[in-house]
Amino acid sequence: MPLKASVLIAEDETQAREALRALLEDEGYRVIAAADGVEAAELLEQSAVEAAVLDIRMPRKDGLTLLREIREMPSPPAVLIMTAYGNSAAAIEAMALGAFDYLTKPLNFDELLIQLGRAIENRRRAGELEAYRREEDSWQGAEIIGDSPAMQKLYKLVGQVSATDSTVLIRGESGTGKEAVARAIHRHSRRGGRKLVKVNCASIPETLLEAEMFGHERGAFTGAAQRRIGKFEYAAGGTLFLDEIGELPPSTQAKLLRVLQDHSIERLGSNITIPLDVRVLAATNCDLETAVHDGRFREDLYYRLNVVTVSIPPLRERREDIPELAAFLLRQAAARLKLPAASITDDAMALLSGGTWPGNVRELEHCLERALILSRSGVIRREHVSLSENPEAGDPLDAVSLDEGLHDAVARLERRMIERALASAAGNRTRAAEILKINRRLLYDKIREYSLE
Ligand X SMILES: Nc1ncnc2c1ncn2[C@@H]1O[C@H](COP(=O)(O)OP(=O)(O)OP(=O)(O)O)[C@@H](O)[C@H]1O
Binding site for ligand X (CB under 6 A): 144-146, 172, 174-180, 285, 325, 328, 361-362, 365
Nearer Cβ to ligand X (134/448): 134
- Judge if the upstream peptide bond of residue 106 is cis by omega within 30 degrees of 0: yes
Q: Which residue is nearest to ligand X (CB)?
A: 177
Nearer Cβ to ligand X (91/199): 199
What is the longest distance spanned by two Cα atoms in the chain? Answer: 102
CB of 247 to Mg ion, least distance (A): 12
Nearer Cβ to Mg ion (173/179): 179
Strand 196-200 versus strand 168-171 pairing type: unpaired
Q: Which partner in Mg ion, ligand X, none is near 39 (CB below 5 to 8 A by kind)?
A: none
Nearer Cβ to ligand X (78/330): 330
Residue 341 near residue 306, CB atoms below 8 Å:
no
The amino acid occupying position 40 is: A
Burial of 448 (0-12, 13-18, 19+ CB in 10 A): exposed
CB of 335 to ligand X, least distance (A): 13
CB of 157 to ligand X, least distance (A): 14
Q: How far apart are CA 180 and CA 185, in angstroms?
A: 9
Q: How far apart are CA 259 and CA 122, in angstroms?
A: 24
Using left for φ > 0, alpha for ψ between -120 and 50, and beta otherwise, residue 444 falls in: alpha
Nearer Cβ to ligand X (145/292): 145
Close Cβ partners of 52 (under 8 Å, ≥ 6 residues apart): 7, 8, 9, 10, 40, 44, 70, 77, 78, 79, 80
CB of 243 to Mg ion, least distance (A): 5
CB of 354 to Mg ion, least distance (A): 26
CB of 365 to ligand X, least distance (A): 5
Q: How far apart are CA 55 and CA 10, in angstroms?
A: 6
Q: Which partner in Mg ion, ligand X, none is near 174 (CB below 5 to 8 A by kind)?
A: ligand X
Q: How far apart are CA 314 and CA 336, in angstroms?
A: 25
CB of 161 to ligand X, least distance (A): 16
Q: Which partner in ligand X, Mg ion, none is near 145 (CB below 5 to 8 A by kind)?
A: ligand X
CB of 180 to ligand X, least distance (A): 4
Residues forming contacts to Mg ion in the complex (CB under 5 A) are 179
Nearer Cβ to Mg ion (210/244): 244
Nearer Cβ to ligand X (129/272): 129
* 196: helix, strand or coil: strand
Nearer Cβ to ligand X (35/180): 180
Return the axis-axis angle of helices 360-375 and 322-337, rounded to nearest 10°: 60
Q: Which partner in ligand X, Mg ion, none is near 361 (CB below 5 to 8 A by kind)?
A: ligand X
Q: Which partner in ligand X, Mg ion, none is near 177 (CB below 5 to 8 A by kind)?
A: ligand X
The amino acid occupying position 173 is: E
Nearer Cβ to ligand X (37/172): 172
CB of 362 to Mg ion, least distance (A): 9
Close Cβ partners of 218 (under 8 Å, ≥ 6 residues apart): 224, 225, 226, 227, 269
Strand 78-84 versus strand 6-10 pairing type: unpaired
Q: How far apart are CA 245 and CA 133, in angstroms?
A: 23
